C-alpha cells in the first residue's frame, strides 16, 4: 500500500495561535492610533440612522496607513447596528470603467444584470430602477479611486451617481479612497460641487505607532514565547523605513512565521524575518511587472538612480529621455506605483513654492535591476 506523503510529516513546533489575524483581509476589533479618523468617518455615516443621506467621504493617505481597514471597520459597525445601510466595496484596480462599476452596483441593489451583452446606458437605467425601490441606503466604496476618477468616464460615473441623489432624491453615499492627495482637484466643477465631500486625511504611522500595531497583531497571531523579542521591533523599523506602511510589517510577520514553521523551528527569529523581507520584495516585483507599461518601468528605473527625488525633477528627467509627456498622465502614474508598493511618494510642503511629492524606491535597487534587465 502506498504511503501517504503527509504520514511522513513529523510533529511540527506550533508557532501560530491564529495566523488569520495577519491576513490582508482581517478586520481587527480595534484600530490603534486611528481613533480620530474613525470618529470622522462615523460622523459621515450617522445621518443614515435617521434615514437620511450620508455625507460623501474622500479618504486620503499613503499606502498602509489604515484607510481601507478603517472604512471597512466603521461600515461593519454601522451595518451591525442598523439595517438601514449596506455597503459595497469596489477596488478600482480591478474595476476601472464606468460600465464595470455600474454593473457591480446594479447587481448589488438586486438588478441581476448579466456580465456581458448590455450597453452601459441600459445597465444604468436598470440600476436606477432598482435604486428607486431599494429598502436600504447603499454606500458605495471606491478604493484606489484614482484608477477610475482620472479617466473621463470615471468623472462621468460620479456625475451619474451624484445627479441621482440631487435630482431624483435617491439616498446613496460615496466613499472615495486614494493615496493621491490631488484626487478631487481635477474633477469637473459640476461633479466637484455635487460631491460636497468630507475629506479625511490619514497621516503616516510613526515608528512607535507601527510598533504598537505589530505588537498587538503578534500577540494575537503567535503563541507566547514563540517569537523572539526583537522581531516586532525590526519589522516596525522596516515598515517605517518604507514609508510607514503597516501592511508590510504585518505581512512580514506572517511570512517569517511560516518560514519558521517550515524549518520546524521553535521560534520566529530575526533571520526568518529578514528572509521574509527578501521574499516579499521578489514576490512584489513578480506580481507588479506584468501590469507595468514601458513608461512606468522607465520611470521606476529613473527613481532608482536617486536616493530620493521630487516629482518635478523626475518629470523633467523623464521628458529628456522620452520626449513630451503630459503632466496629468505623469501625475497619475506616480500614485499607481505607490499603490503597488514599489515607491514611496509622500506630499511635502515646500514653502513658499507649494507642495511636491518626494519619491523614493521601496524595493531593493538590485532586485529591480534584475527584473528590468530580464525584460531587455
Give which of 149, 148, 179 is closest to 66, Cα–Cα.
Answer: 179
- How far is 173 from 178, CA to CA, in rounded Å? 17
> Could you say which DSSP state residue 16 is in?
B
The pLDDT of residue 153 is 84
Q: Alpha helix locations (H) across the chain?
A: 35-45, 67-81, 98-108, 120-132, 146-149, 152-167, 189-195, 207-221, 229-241, 246-262, 270-288, 294-304, 311-322, 327-339, 365-374
Please tell me the total number of residues recorded for the chain in this structure: 376
The pLDDT of residue 197 is 86
- How far is 202 from 200, CA to CA, in rounded Å? 7
The pLDDT of residue 176 is 97
The pLDDT of residue 190 is 84
The pLDDT of residue 220 is 95
Q: Which residue has the cell 513529523?
A: 10
Buried b (16+ CB within 10 A) or exposed e, 313-327: ebbebbeeeeeeeee
Give which of 213, 216, 259 is closest to 239, Cα–Cα.
Answer: 213
Enumerate the β-bridge partners of residue 137: 85
Per the structure block, which three cell numbers stand in for 334? 506616480
The pLDDT of residue 12 is 62
The pLDDT of residue 76 is 96
pTM of the model: 0.84
Per the structure block, which three cell numbers stand in for 180? 493621491
For the chain, give the longest Cα–Cα distance: 79
Please report, in angstroms and rounded to a whole number, the separation of the first and last CA atoms in the chain: 51
Domains and CATH numbers, the chain: 12-21+206-287 (1.10.8.60), 34-202 (3.40.50.300), 292-374 (1.10.10.10)
The pLDDT of residue 4 is 75
Residues in CB range of 372: below 8 A, 6 or more apart = 297, 300, 301
Per the structure block, which three cell numbers stand in for 133? 425601490
- How far is 73 from 84, CA to CA, in rounded Å? 17
- How far is 189 from 1, CA to CA, in rounded Å? 74
The pLDDT of residue 325 is 64
Per-residue pLDDT of the chain (376 residues; tens, 9 = 90+): 677 766 655 556 689 999 999 999 999 998 999 999 999 999 999 999 999 999 999 999 988 999 999 999 999 999 999 999 999 999 998 898 999 999 999 999 999 888 777 898 899 999 999 999 899 999 999 999 988 888 888 889 999 899 888 777 889 999 999 988 888 887 888 888 888 889 999 999 999 999 999 999 999 999 999 999 899 999 999 999 888 889 999 999 999 999 999 998 989 999 999 999 999 988 888 888 888 888 889 899 999 998 889 988 998 888 887 766 677 778 778 888 888 889 988 877 777 777 788 898 888 888 888 888 875 4
Amino acid at each position: 500500500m502506498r504511503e501517504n506523503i503527509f504520514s511522513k510529516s513529523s510533529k511540527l513546533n506550533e508557532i501560530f495561535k491564529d495566523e488569520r489575524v495577519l491576513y490582508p483581509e482581517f478586520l481587527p476589533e480595534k484600530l490603534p492610533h486611528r481613533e480620530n479618523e474613525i470618529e470622522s468617518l462615523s460622523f459621515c455615516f450617522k445621518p443614515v440612522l435617521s434615514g437620511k443621506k450620508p455625507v460623501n467621504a474622500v479618504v486620503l493617505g499613503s499606502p498602509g496607513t489604515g484607510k481601507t481597514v478603517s472604512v471597512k471597520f466603521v461600515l461593519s459597525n454601522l451595518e451591525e447596528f442598523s439595517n438601514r445601510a449596506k455597503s459595497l466595496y469596489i477596488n478600482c484596480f480591478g474595476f476601472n470603467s464606468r460600465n464595470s462599476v455600474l454593473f457591480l452596483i446594479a447587481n448589488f441593489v438586486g438588478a441581476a444584470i448579466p456580465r456581458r451583452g448590455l450597453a452601459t446606458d441600459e445597465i444604468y437605467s436598470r440600476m436606477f430602477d432598482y435604486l428607486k425601490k431599494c429598502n436600504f441606503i447603499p454606500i458605495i466604496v471606491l478604493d484606489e479611486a484614482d484608477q477610475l476618477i482620472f479617466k473621463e468616464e470615471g468623472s462621468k460615473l460620479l456625475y451619474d451617481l451624484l445627479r441621482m441623489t440631487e435630482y431624483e432624491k435617491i439616498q446613496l453615499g460615496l466613499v472615495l479612497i486614494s493615496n493621491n492627495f490631488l484626487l478631487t482637484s481635477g474633477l469637473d466643477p459640476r461633479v466637484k460641487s455635487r460631491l460636497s465631500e468630507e475629506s479625511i486625511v490619514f497621516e503616516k504611522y510613526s515608528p512607535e505607532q507601527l510598533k504598537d500595531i505589530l505588537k498587538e497583531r503578534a500577540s494575537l497571531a503567535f503563541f507566547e514565547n514563540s517569537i523572539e523579542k526583537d522581531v516586532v521591533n525590526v519589522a516596525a523599523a522596516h515598515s517605517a523605513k518604507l514609508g510607514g506602511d503597516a501592511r508590510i510589517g504585518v505581512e512580514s510577520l506572517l511570512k517569517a512565521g511560516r518560514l519558521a514553521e517550515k524549518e520546524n523551528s521553535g521560534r520566529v527569529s530575526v533571520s526568518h524575518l529578514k528572509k521574509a523581507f527578501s521574499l516579499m520584495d521578489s514576490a512584489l516585483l513578480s506580481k507588479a511587472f506584468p501590469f507595468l507599461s514601458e513608461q512606468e518601468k522607465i520611470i521606476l528605473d529613473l527613481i532608482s538612480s536617486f536616493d530620493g527625488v521630487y516629482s518635478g525633477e523626475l518629470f523633467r528627467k523623464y521628458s529628456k529621455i522620452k520626449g513630451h509627456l503630459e503632466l496629468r498622465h505623469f501625475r497619475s502614474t506616480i500614485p499607481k506605483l505607490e499603490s503597488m508598493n514599489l515607491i514611496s511618494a509622500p506630499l511635502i510642503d515646500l514653502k513658499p513654492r507649494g507642495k511636491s511629492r518626494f519619491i523614493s524606491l521601496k524595493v531593493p535597487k538590485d532586485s529591480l535591476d534584475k527584473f528590468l534587465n530580464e525584460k531587455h
